[in-house]
Structure 1
Amino acid sequence: MSSGTQLVLHVWPELEGALSLDSQCIAAILYLQLTIPGRFSIAYCTNPDESPSGQLPYLTHGLHTESGLLAIQKFVEKLDGVVSPDAGLSGVERAQNIARVAHVESELGDLVAHCLFCLRANWYGYTRKTLVSELPVPQRYYLPDRLRLSYKPRLLAAELWDVPEIEEEDVKAPTGFQRLTGKRRRDKNSKGKFKSIYAREKVLERAQAILDVYSKLLGTKRFFHPDSERPSSLDIIFASHIQLLQLPLSDPLFQTLLTERYPTLITHANLVHSTAFPTPESFPPLAERVTSTSILSLFPVSRIFQKKTAHPPTPEERKFALMRWGFFGAAVGAFGLYMHAIGLFAVVANTYNSLRVVKSVDSEHEDEEEDEDEIVEHELEEEVDEDDSVGREE
């Protein structure tokens, strides 16, 4: 498959310290940079409705669109000169790789969503703030909350939505009785705080059970597969999730766990990132981003009405343009034939003729009334003249 047209990868905006606020988008950026460096650009997108599936990331190649990480990977591997990151794996290793990738996306994906979208301190202090700074008016007032609610069914099923958060204890000055007796009144919310600590410990135990598996699998190797000299798809997916879990958030629930118990996983994630981007100049170019603040931005705009690019259309684009206009012409012609077949045109014509007849009859009646008025006026004038002549004779 030819790759003459520039590929554009549309992803969620970047976070401070991460390539994007979504692990799938980070994985797509790393995957394309490791397979087709210099042949694609990145467009930060804040409207998932522009994607055919309603989710990010998605890739555009001319008039062709692929949505979802797996579909993007399959499309890119068909391009000329592309070598898959899993090309050197055996059949058994490929099968294991697919199972482990699904496990990471499911289990670590739940933890990432819980960390960024469920914990209120991280949501209001980090994720939502980033979205609001990137979104135009009026999307910034409703899209962040809609995005957060989209994760609620998934986290409810994983029992990660209603996890309480630890709040700082309010330090109050002791009362006079407490100063005399040296005792403090028992906090009424102490029971709720113990419950919060227990729930958070359960989440950390769940995270440890997942991270232990991949910490043992990695061992002292650079990547998960011992004979691989470059990151595989498993390395890319895993590193994209760790990159978000180790962010310095307001509630460092998983950052502390990774730093204290799993430094090798952080080193692995940084190695995958440095392999994809050895220098800051190796980062792909950013595509032109157009944001609108009008009411029309509430609705997804069809590609037909989008601003045309400066480069001349390719033969493939001209072919699709002719096909599109041919389809519109055929649709209009078929609609005309259908209207003629059911006799709607004849009905309209008869109705129009009937209206013309009624109008002409009304005009004739008006003419007759005018003639009668003129006759009456003429007769009245003659009577007046006769009366005048009689008066003169007398």
Structure 2
Amino acid sequence: MVLELHVWGPSFGLPSIDAQCLATIAYMRQVIPRGQWFLVASSDPTLSPTNELPALRNTQNGDWIGGYRNILNFITQYSSGKWDMDASLRGQEGADCTAYSAFIQVHGQPLLDLSLYVSSHNYSEITRPIFNTIQSFPLPYLTPPHLRTEAKKRTEYLGLSSLDIDTEDGDKSREPSIIPESLRRGKQTVSSLLAASPETNAQIRLDALATDFFESIQELRGKKKYLVSNSYMSSVDCLALGFMSLMLYPNLPQPWLAKTMRKKFPDLVEWVEELKNEVLGGAVNVDDAMLTKSANANAVQQKKMHLPWQAPESRGILNVGGVFLANLADSMPIVGQRRKDNRMRRYSGEETGKDTGSQLWRYVATVGGLVAAVGLVTGYALHQGLMQLPEKLARKEG
């Protein structure tokens, strides 16, 4: 049997833009022999029964398993414990692994949400453009806003919504003026410095959140080689690597998270860098993940790579249109929640008693995918100037 791990595509020199995808990659890289699994940067959560990535596909029977924890449980069960990284943990080590795994997910995810998605500067200048490189047109127009909306919901309780500003308002200061810049520039005051950006205004709170997180991880590690053991890695090391890599490596306009880590926790920085090189290897780009070189070059490329990349399947315009429609439906408040509930019921094996509704949605999705595909082709042709609207053509002839 060969397993396929589907993840969000690479960014920042890392194999994925998602922390839990990185954690799953690190885990499988450590426990499953090469040749028995492949890594696919599909960047398509609709493949997963839970509509999330990472997602694991059993190529033997076509079954899908969605989500980090579900994948780890499946790997352990399938291998009869042979591929269980935590099997050697005893007593306090096992308890710490469980507790801190939950801690990293609960407290690490909001930090990444704030840094990569809620912060307007970081999102608009760095995060959003990445999806143009890892997803097919027109999915990058829908996926980043959807992920950002979810990130805002997850961080709403922190009261840091000021990080989300209309960046266009800030462009007013760049408008041309007949007054020389030297005369327009006023003296900097404490108030003006604090108001320089939402991140600056919230710096104290952001620094406190980041410091609390890193301090807890540093205390857990102490002088050990790994977080809960001095002898071997565990799943909590994989999680920490996934989350802290995305805190450390991105080169962002507002790098408050990386700054806090580098300034206050240099030992953690060194630990992440060493573990990343050991487990994930060197820098990864989109060409590596997509295997975009020639067939002969691909064979050489795969042998040299640290990770077992496999090129994602080429999806036709109809399939892309169907995915676009599904993503659009998931982004709608009522429809999206109902679809999510139905997915979870099917995944848990519950009988919904609504097979007719499911069949109806599949029919609507198929027809909608076809309509969306036609619309995408037409829109692309218009955008590229391959086709003109009748009004334009008539005006041109007139």
- Does structure 2 conserve the Cα–Cα contact (< 8 Å) formed by 1:164 and 1:199? no
Matched residue, 2:181: 173
Structure 1 residue 54: Cα displacement: 0.7
Matched residue, 1:155: 155
Is 1:288 the equivalent of 2:311?
yes
Matched residue, 1:108: 108
Structure 1 residue 174: Cα displacement: 4.3
- Does structure 1 conserve the Cα–Cα contact (< 8 Å) formed by 2:244 and 2:272? yes
Larger Rg: 1
Matched residue, 1:256: 259
Q: 1:37 to 1:271 in 2, by over 3 A?
A: farther
Is 1:52 the equivalent of 2:61?
no
For structure 1, the 5+ residue unaligned runs are 302-330, 332-394
Question: What is the RMSD of the two structures over their aligned residues, measured on CA atoms?
Answer: 3.2
Tell me which amino acid in the other structure corresponds to 1:233.
Answer: S
Distance in 1 (alpha carbons) for counterparts of 2:191 and 2:226: 50
Structure 1 residue 284: Cα displacement: 2.9
Q: 1:272 to 1:82 in 2, by over 3 A?
A: farther
Distance in 2 (alpha carbons) for counterparts of 1:268 and 1:194: 32
Structure 1 residue 300: Cα displacement: 4.5
Q: 1:185 to 1:205 in 2, by over 3 A?
A: closer
For structure 2, the 5+ residue unaligned runs are 283-302, 325-354, 356-398
Distance in 1 (alpha carbons) for counterparts of 2:243 and 2:265: 14
Matched residue, 1:377: none
Matches within 5 A, 1:220-231: 220-226=223-229, 228-231=230-233
Distance in 2 (alpha carbons) for counterparts of 1:17 and 1:44: 14
Is 1:211 the equivalent of 2:210?
no
Distance in 1 (alpha carbons) for counterparts of 2:78 and 2:274: 26
Tell me which amino acid in the other structure corresponds to 1:144.
Answer: P
Q: 1:89 to 1:282 in 2, by over 3 A?
A: farther
Structure 1 residue 194: Cα displacement: 8.4
Deviations 1:50-80 (A, max 9, x none): 2110110010012121111111101111234
Distance in 2 (alpha carbons) for counterparts of 1:282 and 1:186: 52
Tell me which amino acid in the other structure corresponds to 1:231.
Answer: M
- In the comparison of the two structures, how many residue pairs are matched? 292
- Does structure 2 conserve the Cα–Cα contact (< 8 Å) formed by 1:31 and 1:236? yes
Of stretches 138-147 and 290-299 in structure 1, the one that deviates more from structure 2 is 290-299
Matched residue, 2:10: 14
Tell me which amino acid in the other structure corresponds to 1:6.
Answer: V
Is 1:239 the equivalent of 2:241?
yes
Q: 1:120 to 1:172 in 2, by over 3 A?
A: farther
Matched residue, 2:362: none
1:299 to 322, 327, 330: 322
- Does structure 2 conserve the Cα–Cα contact (< 8 Å) formed by 1:132 and 1:140? yes
SS of alignment partner, residue 181 of structure 2:
coil
Distance in 2 (alpha carbons) for counterparts of 1:11 and 1:159: 31
Of stretches 278-287 and 106-115 in structure 1, the one that deviates more from structure 2 is 278-287
Distance in 2 (alpha carbons) for counterparts of 1:20 and 1:48: 14
Matched residue, 2:121: 121
Deviations 1:303-355 (A, max 9, x none): xxxxxxxxxxxxxxxxxxxxxxxxxxxx9xxxxxxxxxxxxxxxxxxxxxxxx
- Does structure 2 conserve the Cα–Cα contact (< 8 Å) formed by 1:245 and 1:254? yes
- Does structure 2 conserve the Cα–Cα contact (< 8 Å) formed by 1:57 and 1:69? yes
Matches within 5 A, 1:306-345: none
Tell me which amino acid in the other structure corresponds to 2:153.
Answer: P
Distance in 2 (alpha carbons) for counterparts of 1:185 and 1:163: 22
Matched residue, 2:275: 272
Matched residue, 2:377: none
Tell me which amino acid in the other structure corresponds to 1:79.
Answer: Y
Distance in 2 (alpha carbons) for counterparts of 1:143 and 1:126: 14
Matched residue, 1:356: none
Matched residue, 2:334: none
Identity of aligned residues (%): 21
Tell me which amino acid in the other structure corresponds to 1:147.
Answer: L
Structure 1 residue 172: Cα displacement: 6.2
TM-score by length of 2: 0.65
- Does structure 2 conserve the Cα–Cα contact (< 8 Å) formed by 1:86 and 1:94? yes
Matched residue, 1:202: 205
Matched residue, 1:79: 78
Matched residue, 2:99: 99
Structure 1 residue 32: Cα displacement: 0.3
Tell me which amino acid in the other structure corresponds to 1:78.
Answer: Q
